Copies of this chain bind each other. A is one copy, B any other.
């Protein structure tokens, strides 16, 4: 069993890096705070005898050797970057459960059959740079390395430059770790485990995600002198699309639709907006339903552009197809062995494990979080809930190493 108090203290210590007044965390990818968090992880892993490598998109791999080091290692990992209004658990809980697993086997002088790998993936959140799961997606070959390093934030700063600046632009080749299985522990970020009073969620599926950049191009003009019928008001069109995103989600079972990001130009109260840029995020566990939602969004944007007499440019720059986790039964076996209550569940959010499933047998362990709230400073999981997840991770990894 892992050390519940030590895991909790580790979570709280990491949470101070970028800690907010309301008890959350604001630690965007590629910032100085991201560097501090990464440095702390590296120090903790090295203290337990790991060797540490960094790949070309900044993913960190800490390796603890086992008995047969030519055999594929058993891996775990998640991310240390957060949302601007993030909590202390999203991603961090997975990374630090790994560190707790490492410490537990290290202090017990356990020689595992295979090596164990503990990883931190670059920009999982997709808040400062897009898309989400950028580090793991690039590692497994879904994205082109140069394209991703050239991605810029709203201020035009390149991801590649930021990684170099903080000392985490490595030279290890992508996809080059000798890993045989991958497990990620994560808070659920939704309300289901709490509602159902289950300690552990066996994640069977990661739902589908489609991300868009939308740009409405109207014409700036005076709010006091431009008659309503002569306007090309980019804000009005953007508002219609925001409402439609909601309507699309409601029309489909388990559909979700969100506009989280918007930039208005020139953003002056007596100038009718000439240009509005915003994000669109559609999700569904079923690929056919998600495709239907996608088509409805395209059709609506065409219709409203025509009606309002201006241009709507819809760039569907990221599609993440639903993924099934084929090592879920390993997670279930460990959970049952430890005697935790559990249920099958699907992941609403994207996770690094979703991309790792491209390469190796992969499983995810969910733990409950208070009121299902995440991407919010109030995000919370209790020490016991965290400990249960870390224990399942420990035993899942040990079992996988035995085989």
A contact set with B: CB distance below 8 Å: 83-85, 125-127, 130, 132, 188-191, 207, 209, 211, 219-228, 230, 233, 235-236, 238-240, 242-243, 246, 249-250, 255-262, 264-274, 279, 281, 283, 347-350, 372-376
Contact = CB atoms under 8 A, between A and B. Distances in A.
Nearest to A261: B269
Contacts of A268: 83-85, 125, 127, 260-261, 375
Given A126-B269, A219-B376, A242-B239, A258 B233 contact: yes
Most B CB within 10 A of own CB, among A125, A260, A266: A260
A258 B272 contact: yes
Contacts of A372: 225-226, 230
Contact of A132 (B188, B233, B242, B270): B270
A158 B283 CA distance: 44
B269 A84 contact: no
* Most chain B CB within a 10 A radius of its CB, from A85, A130, A219, A375: A375
A130 B190 contact: no
Given A84-B268, A235-B259, 4 more contacts: A132-B270, A189-B224, A260-B269, A261-B269
Contacts of A224: 189, 207, 209, 256, 281, 283, 347-350
A245 to B, nearest CB: 8
Given A84-B266, A221-B375, A348-B224, A260 B272 contact: yes
Given A246-B236, A262-B235, A262-B262, A374 B225 contact: yes
A130 B219 CA distance: 23
Which residue of A239, A242, A250, A255 has the most chain B CB atoms within 10 A of its CB atom?
A: A239
A155 to B, nearest CB: 13
Contacts of A271: 83-85, 127, 260, 375-376
- A-B pairs, top 4 by smallest CB distance, nearest first, are A225-B348, A269-B279, A239-B242, A190-B225
Contacts of A84: 266-268, 271
Copies of this chain assembled into the complex: 2
B264 A270 contact: no
B228 A246 contact: yes
Contacts of A126: 269-270
Contacts of A347: 224
B273 A260 contact: yes
A191 to B, nearest CB: 7
Contacts of A375: 220-223, 268, 270-272
Given A243-B243, A281-B270, A222 B348 contact: yes
A175 to B, nearest CB: 26
A243 B239 contact: yes
B240 A228 contact: no
Nearest to A350: B224
A209 B233 CA distance: 19
A258 B240 contact: no
Choose among A228, A255, A349 the residue with the greatest number of B CB atoms under 10 Å from its CB: A228
A87 to B, nearest CB: 10
A123 to B, nearest CB: 12
A235 B225 contact: no
B281 A269 contact: yes
Contacts of A242: 235-236, 238-239
Given A239-B243, A376-B219, A266 B85 contact: yes
A374 B225 CA distance: 8
A264 B267 contact: no
B225 A269 contact: no
A125 B30 CA distance: 39
Contacts of A266: 83-85
